[in-house]
Amino acid sequence: MMYFDNAATTPMFPELKDALFKYSFEEFYNASALYGGAKSAKDALQNARTKVASRLNAQASEIIFTSGATEANNTALLGTPKPAQARVIITAAEHASVTFCAAELKRRGFDVLTAPVDADGAVVVSALLSLCGKNTALVSVIHVSNETGAVNPINEISARVKAINPKIIFHSDGVQAFCKLPPPAKTVDLYSVSAHKINGPKGAGALKCAQGIHLNPLLFGGGQERGLRSGTENVAGIYAFGLAAELFQKAYSPDVFVGLKAALVTELGALPSVKFYLPEAGVPNIISLSIEGIYSETLLHMLEVDEIYIGLGSACAANKAGNSALSATGRTAQEIKGSLRISLGLHNSLGEIAVLSKKIIEYTAKLRSRNVAK
Ligand code: PMP
């Protein structure tokens, strides 16, 4: 099996098995219980909080554990206090968990505006800044595009947004950046991350909420996570999240990904009419390309027979009609039909890239000869 869809999810570090077992079968206690055994569960949460916080350049007290980044994004977008009809600004290349929250805010009467992105999928900063004003309550800019790998300069953008209006709350979806890029600056008030993109478990994530920033909870109940996220904590998943952050940062070397990406671009470059979308500022592990004259979904299923797995784009966008983030970059409908997203993980090797490239070239020739796209 060869897996190249690491922006969708990653395989868990085998080292997490013991931790998941321990807090599910042995120290399974509710972290809020008062007897001695529960202290171990409480300590596990604190351990993870410290580990996640240190990778976000934040205080442990600024971390709110959630069920993942979808919940973190919902908490940020819906939970930030906003005067009636206040303005909320997002970008045209956000993940569905931000765009659908923005649609909900619009339905609730807020003035929701979308800043355009360039051909790389990065926000047009001047356009975004021109939308910010006195009435703006919240700005949300994805850190690294899950579709194209483009990096938005969120530290600079958040500082400039606050120079226009210091009351604006700045949120960033940091899922594809966490443990790969330096942590966000203090001007980023809210920052969403997820465990399963860094070889941790699914169902664990966090929202960094900077000290002094007020949020309204989405979930009410037992008052866990400083009252901002009620519900019995997923101790095993959260503890494993902390360990994964530590393990990922040790294992991750951008240079390895730069080498793998260069090999892929060279080897697939042999294919006639292939177009790579390589952002000027981009992470090396997400490679977006389009092959003219094929349906990439057909190619995906041909590769699947060989147990080679790639993505077409966001797995969340795959559940819906069209891919709005890719259309926002100016790709034509035809280009989107032929689009692939190859996202690399810690386990990928140059040998795998060679096999992947060879298979894509072989199957594209087959598809073109059958004229499948016509
Ligand atoms: N934002 C981005 C950029 C993502 O790639 C994803 C995962 N597809 C999410 C948010 C949602 O994260 P989760 O699966 O943890 O809810």
Q: Is 14 left (phi over 0), alpha (psi -120 to 50) or beta?
A: alpha
Q: Which atom of ligand 1 is nearest to the CA of 144?
A: 3
- Residue 8 alpha carbon to ligand 1 centre in Å: 8
Alpha helices in 223-282 (DSSP H): 235-251, 254-268
Residues 9 and 286: their CA atoms lie apart, in Å, by 13
**Adjacent-strand bridge partners of 114:** 90
Residue 175, ligand 1, Cβ within 6 A: yes
- Residue 95 alpha carbon to ligand 1 centre in Å: 7
From 194, 199, 234, 288, the mutation candidate for ligand 1 (largest count of ligand atoms within 8 A of CB) is 194
Residues 221 and 232: their CA atoms lie apart, in Å, by 10
**Averaged confidence pLDDT in the chain:** 95
- The answer to whether 2-9+253-373 and 15-250 have equal CATH topology is no
pLDDT of residue 4: 98
Choice among 101, 132, 209, 316 that is catalytic: 316
Is 316 tagged catalytic?
A: yes
Helices (H) and strands (E) in the chain — how many of each? 13, 12
Residues 343 and 336: their CA atoms lie apart, in Å, by 17
Of 72-81, 128-137, 195-204, 268-277, minimum mean pLDDT range: 268-277
Homologous superfamily of 2-9+253-373 in CATH?
Aspartate Aminotransferase, domain 1 (3.90.1150.10)
156-208 confidence digits (pLDDT tens): 999 999 999 999 999 999 999 999 999 999 999 999 999 999 999 999 999 99
Do 263 and 354 touch, CB atoms closer than 8 A?
yes
Residue 205, ligand 1, Cβ within 6 A: yes
pLDDT of residue 324: 83
Higher pLDDT, 272 or 139: 139
Q: Which atom of ligand 1 is nearest to the CA of 196?
A: 15
Residues 111 and 91: their CA atoms lie apart, in Å, by 14
Output the CA–CA distances (angstroms, integers) from residue 19 to 40, 104, 161, 194, 295, in the order listed. 12, 38, 42, 18, 42
pLDDT higher than 60, residue 374: no
3 state DSSP class of 238 = helix
Rounded mean pLDDT, 237-264: 97
Residues 151 and 282: their CA atoms lie apart, in Å, by 5
Residues 40 and 33: their CA atoms lie apart, in Å, by 11
How is the chain split into domains, by residue range? Answer: 2-9+253-373, 15-250
Mention every residue, 6+ apart, whose C-beta is less than 8 A from residue 264. Answer: 287, 342, 353, 356, 357
pLDDT higher than 50, residue 52: yes
Question: How does strand 286-291 pair with strand 339-343?
Answer: antiparallel
**Adjacent-strand bridge partners of 171:** 140, 190
CATH 3.40.640.10 fits 15-250, yes or no: yes
Residue 146, ligand 1, Cβ within 6 A: yes
Residues 2 and 356: their CA atoms lie apart, in Å, by 8
3 state DSSP class of 317 = helix
> Which residue has its alpha carbon closest to ligand 1 atom 5?
146
Residue 75, ligand 1, Cβ within 6 A: no
Do 19 and 240 touch, CB atoms closer than 8 A?
yes
- The dihedral built from the CA positions of residue 302, 304, 309 and 310, taken in this order, carries a sign that is positive
From 98, 144, 175, the mutation candidate for ligand 1 (largest count of ligand atoms within 8 A of CB) is 175
From 71, 146, 196, the mutation candidate for ligand 1 (largest count of ligand atoms within 8 A of CB) is 146
340-349 confidence digits (pLDDT tens): 999 999 999 9
295-323 confidence digits (pLDDT tens): 999 999 999 999 999 999 765 555 455 67
Residue 145, ligand 1, Cβ within 6 A: no
